[in-house]
Structure 1
């Protein structure tokens, strides 16, 4: 009788990495909500730029009024791809505002420089200019009770290199959170305030007059998209200060983990601008990051934002 013995199981040395980091590995990358129907587009060609986020729209002239059918298809594309890119549009400021108004009333922002109308925010960046919202992942104006639905950004002047913008899909970010983290944040609320974001580049005397106009507000840590019903992570490093009812150290630790999710490359699309290009993004479903790597050259952009609803 022959007796066989199995080989001993190898013993590995301790190989743990610090907890609460960004998970490195295979991602769940669903572009559409579960059960959503994927239909072809008849009035333009969407060219995907990444797996879940970002499509270049070919065959549309944004300077012309939208028909109801075209507006419906563009809205469907926006919900599907979260950010749409239109090359070489060269819109006047009036045409840019007219396009944005197809999605609702326009909002103003007294904290930022304006163009030729109160609804137009102008980012004119040359050497020595105030950096404003560059080099930070954020969702626009979440310090408002009704954060913007979306925004339409056009580049008026483009540097010879750099100046890209990135967007991150916050539905994908939520989908890939560990189950135990989702259980902690589902149903939780966080406080948003304009001061942390703007204090990065404005002095106290510039910010103090707006404290009554923009008091801190609470939004769900995970919001539902009002049109698709999809769950999305809704905190950002510019405006979210703490999670309601949580001890500060615990809140800070959890928020750092949640903020990091926008940094995952699989959730992102990166756009290299040319003069006259337009980007239209769903501010409810994304974060974005403007890269300031083009000094000493100038970069000029104008943005029109569309008022949104109260997150739920």
Structure 2
């Protein structure tokens, strides 16, 4: 039997996991226990897990195929692991509520984030539950939103003025823009495993609700962005060295607090590809 221990952190989302060594191959019972905990709690935290990029990628690959990010630098010997290093890359796009890579036709199932270098203070990350936010909406608002779609645009979080500063950066940005044109996803997404409904719009990538007039879309999105990140739907994690977070990207959004400059912060992320939202 699995010796995985799951300790919930809030009603809306979040649990701390113990009894697992991520650096080693996962036995099937531990993998299944972690997957079930993810379905129940949406974001999981593992303390004291010093792992290499290869070990991080192996852990993440237990849950699906891995994505190679079109903009962020990666670990050369393990390109599926991207590097978020404030000394190298402008990561201000992380200091906004967002759901990862929703500019893809098949946005991420989840992501595994490993703390490599932390500031002495600051640099927390917040997560918000799209399920809790949706379930708290009034019945008339749910009826309005169900069936609507929204445009998600790569450029909203990766504008040319911040990611095209050299010839090489410009070439990478242009290739990413052409490969990832704006596309549409449901405003309310159904989780493919649990069947629960979740808000699936975020300030990071969502630009408009397609079926509404522009002014209507602007007002409704502003309302949803504020509603989805109410404190009762969120959890704030204070990182320690070698912490690992694993979240369900299908039903959450997150915000990396940019409150530690000029200190440096380095994180490694492995992103797990998902399926077409419905």
The alignment's TM-score, normalised by the length of structure 1, stands at 0.83
Could you tell me which residue of structure 2 aligns to residue 102 of structure 1? 62
Structure 1 residue 197 displacement after superposition: 1.0
CA offset digits 1:13-62 (Å, max 9, x no partner): xxxxxxxxxxxxxxxxxxxxxxxxxxxx9522111111121111011111
Could you tell me which residue of structure 2 aligns to residue 76 of structure 1? 36
Structure 2 counterpart SS, 1:119 = strand
Could you tell me which residue of structure 2 aligns to residue 7 of structure 1? none
Could you tell me which residue of structure 2 aligns to residue 299 of structure 1? 265
Greater gyration radius = 1
Structure 1 counterpart SS, 2:202 = coil
Alignment of 1:139-178 (within 5 A): 139-178=99-138
CA offset digits 1:223-273 (Å, max 9, x no partner): 100000000000111111111121101111111111112321111111111
2:10 paired with 1:85: no
CA offset digits 1:120-175 (Å, max 9, x no partner): 1101114x852343320000000100000000000101110000001001000001
Query: Contact 2:84–2:91 at 8 Å: present in 1 too?
Result: no
Greater strand content: 2
Count of matched residue pairs: 271
Alignment of 1:142-221 (within 5 A): 142-199=102-159, 201-203=162-164, 205=170, 207-221=173-187
Structure 2: which 5+ residue stretches go unaligned?
Answer: none
2:79 paired with 1:118: yes
Query: Contact 1:43–1:73 at 8 Å: present in 2 too?
Result: no
Query: Contact 1:225–1:285 at 8 Å: present in 2 too?
Result: yes
Structure 2 counterpart SS, 1:118 = strand
Q: Give the root-mean-square deviation of aligned CA atoms.
A: 1.6
Query: Contact 1:132–1:201 at 8 Å: present in 2 too?
Result: no
Structure 1 counterpart SS, 2:162 = coil
The alignment's TM-score, normalised by the length of structure 2, stands at 0.93
Question: Aligned partners of 1:133, 1:96: CA distance in 2, in Å?
Answer: 23
Query: Contact 2:13–2:128 at 8 Å: present in 1 too?
Result: yes
Structure 1 residue 112 displacement after superposition: 1.0
Could you tell me which residue of structure 2 aligns to residue 240 of structure 1? 206
Question: Aligned partners of 1:134, 1:195: CA distance in 2, in Å?
Answer: 14
Could you tell me which residue of structure 2 aligns to residue 255 of structure 1? 221
Query: Contact 1:100–1:151 at 8 Å: present in 2 too?
Result: yes
Structure 1 residue 212 displacement after superposition: 2.2
Structure 1 residue 70 displacement after superposition: 1.0
Question: Aligned partners of 1:131, 1:174: CA distance in 2, in Å?
Answer: 29
Question: Aligned partners of 1:134, 1:219: CA distance in 2, in Å?
Answer: 21
Question: Aligned partners of 1:143, 1:235: CA distance in 2, in Å?
Answer: 11
Structure 1: which 5+ residue stretches go unaligned?
Answer: 1-40
Could you tell me which residue of structure 2 aligns to residue 48 of structure 1? 8
Instruction: Summarize the Cα distance change of 1:181–1:203 in structure 2 as closer, same or farther, 3 Å threshold.
Output: farther
CA offset digits 1:72-103 (Å, max 9, x no partner): 11100000010100001000110000000000
Query: Contact 2:14–2:42 at 8 Å: present in 1 too?
Result: yes
Query: Contact 1:138–1:238 at 8 Å: present in 2 too?
Result: yes
